[in-house]
Chain A
Amino acid sequence: VTRPPTPTRALLLLLAATAVAAQTATPPAATVHKPKPHPTKPLPPPYNPNLIVLDPAHGGQDNGANLGRAGAEKDFTLAFANRLSTLLTAKGFTVVLTHSDASDAITADQRVELANRSRAVACLLLHASAAGHGIHLFTSALTLPSIADAAHPDTYIAPWDSAQATSLSKSLHLVNELATALNGLRVPLIVARASVSPIDSMSCPAVALEIAPAAADSNIADDTYQQHIAESVVTALTYWRQHAQDQIAAQIAAQLAAQNPATPAGTSPAPPAPAAKPKPKPKPVIITAPDEVPLAPDNSTPPAKPAPIERKPPPRSTPPPSGPPQ
């Protein structure tokens, strides 16, 4: 029998000793393998309830429609966007315009990119036309995502040219709010669905607002007419913001309830109130938007304090501060 050389034998002995030591070593404490409880961090809201994106149509070489005395459509829509932006800012909104100069040649994809990155609560595409009368509101003509896509919202990726389909139900709610507010102006109001670039690619609740002369003998450049429309739009967006804030609060509470099943939904984790003041029974949380946009988990967001959920009735009974003229 030939023995291996001394260095090789020493190496084999060292390996064998290491293996024996690894088998006989005391296993670490069981707490090492115990998964740590995840901190209860609510997912970020899908949109900023105070942010509005205004997209004045056309610009640069694209003049849009010829509005007669009101000039080109690109100038009219930009002026109206500035008027609307002023009123919205006074109401506490943050307004983002896709462009601030009528000579800016901005493409449809650039408008969409700005709108989709901002995660606005509403995107308004402003148009004007000399054809027809009154105000025309349009939502995308896309259909809702299929049932298979709705069943897996976390993995569903909307195509660029039909991203609006995921927000279509919200857009329809938004156009209802706008129609309700604009109905008080006593001008022809048309609500329809059309395929207008670039509304189909926007992932935010989006509505195209087209302004036409109020009547055959009226002028679209009438300052009072534009001001009334702008005030009505601001009123509708104020209601829409309140609705969005309610939805976000309900969503956060539902997420916390799902992460902490012991805590009933809608209750605050704060210490219980003294016995002398018994709290009323918590109301069940109802999420009114079953087709919510899938949320992307973001661990960088600090945990927000869960707020008690109270489904407040919409403030329809109170007259708006700057309501439409009668």
Chain B
Amino acid sequence: MIPRYQRIVYWILVGGILLMLLLLIYGCEHKHSRNLAMRDESRIAAPTDLPAQQVSLALANDADASIILDDISMPLPADPSLRARLILDRMFSDFALPASTHPLPSGKAVTDVFLLPLPLVNPGRESNDADAAQHASPYGHVHMPDAQLAVVNLTKSFADAHPSGIETEDLTLRAIIATLHANLPQVEQIRFLVDGQPRPTLAGHADLTRPYAVIDPIHSIHVLSAFGNPM
């Protein structure tokens, strides 16, 4: 016959063991989720002696389809094309973080960014400023004197792995446009390529066949005239 007090102690010990077990499981899961949230698969920046500069990165949010600009400091070279590519690399590495509000696949997203002067003219043709101005407004568009077209060359692996959907693809394009517009104000239009080739859509929805005019990238993009392609 087991005394009553021993049975009480026994069940109290069993309850304590179960409680400790539950606390242990909860603590492990909590720590695991925190580790996942803080996992940063972005590439480690190489040491450089370039001066750090203030840049603006567009942060997209799938919950409300919003874009906000966040200022950070990072070393940047003087070449505008290289600057644009590094800034976009940093933006996409932020999007690849597990806690991102606009989750995108990790890895290299942008191969190159080319900056071309606007309006685009035939390089084999002799043209003066008047001719260039004439070319500038065949559809009623007037470019700024130092206006540029940015050609963003995305990688095929990034485009193939991008989440498919109108909203998420549109937000990615808007984030690129807003980031370039904030850091390179001379960029007026942006065209997208994938591995150097034109592609109909990013991941099945967002149109990549037309250039995007950088008018108000936060609220509205792809402001085309009724004449269609303004190029």
Contacts and interface: CB of A to CB of B under 8 A. Distances in A.
Given A64-B204, A195-B206, A197-B201, A131 B168 contact: yes
Contact of B166 (A136, A143, A146, A161): A136
B220 A131 contact: no
A130 B163 contact: yes
Chain A contact residues (Cβ within 8 angstroms of B): what range? 35 or more
A142 B226 CA distance: 7
A152 B227 CA distance: 15
Nearest to B104: A131
Nearest to A168: B226
Interface string B54-83: 000000001111000000000000000000
A144 B65 CA distance: 23
Nearest to B200: A197
Contact of A127 (B62, B165, B207, B228): B165
B200 to A, nearest CB: 7
A306 interface: no
A119 interface: no
A131 B163 contact: yes
A97 interface: no
Nearest to A156: B226
- Most chain A CB within 10 A, of B64, B164, B200, B223, is at B164
A188 interface: yes
Contacts of B167: 129, 131-132, 136, 138, 190, 192, 194, 210, 212
Nearest to B168: A131
A166 B205 CA distance: 22
Given A131-B163, A132-B63, A161-B229, A143 B168 contact: no
B224 interface: yes
B160 to A, nearest CB: 12
A280 interface: no
Interface string A123-152: 000010111110010100111111001000
Given A145-B226, A159-B227, A194 B165 contact: no
A110 interface: no
B166 A210 contact: yes
Interface range on chain B: under 10, 10 to 19, 20 to 34, or 35 or more? 20 to 34
B166 A141 contact: no
A197 B165 CA distance: 12
Contacts of B222: 141-142, 193-195
B138 interface: no
A254 interface: no
Interface residues of B, dominant DSSP: loop
Contacts of A43: none
Contact of A143 (B164, B165, B200, B223): B223
A188 B165 contact: no
Interface in A175-224: 188, 190, 192-197, 200, 208, 210, 212
A285 interface: no
B223 A190 contact: no
A58 interface: yes
A86 interface: no
Contacts of A62: 204
Nearest to A193: B220
A263 interface: no
B221 interface: yes
A200 B62 CA distance: 24
Contacts of B63: 132-133, 188
Given A129-B167, A131-B165, A131-B168, A194 B226 contact: no
A165 interface: yes
B225 A129 contact: no
A190 B165 contact: no
A205 B118 CA distance: 34
Interface in B120-148: 140
A141 B226 CA distance: 11
Given A141-B224, A159-B226, A200-B224, 14 more contacts: A65-B164, A65-B203, A131-B62, A136-B166, A143-B223, A159-B228, A162-B224, A190-B167, A192-B65, A193-B222, A194-B167, A195-B210, A212-B165, A212-B167
For the complex of A and B, the 10 pairs showing the least CB-CB separation, nearest first, are: A129-B165, A65-B164, A141-B222, A131-B168, A145-B226, A195-B207, A165-B226, A131-B163, A194-B170, A162-B228
13 contacts: A66-B164, A129-B168, A132-B63, A138-B166, A141-B221, A146-B140, A162-B228, A192-B170, A194-B167, A194-B206, A196-B205, A197-B207, A210-B166
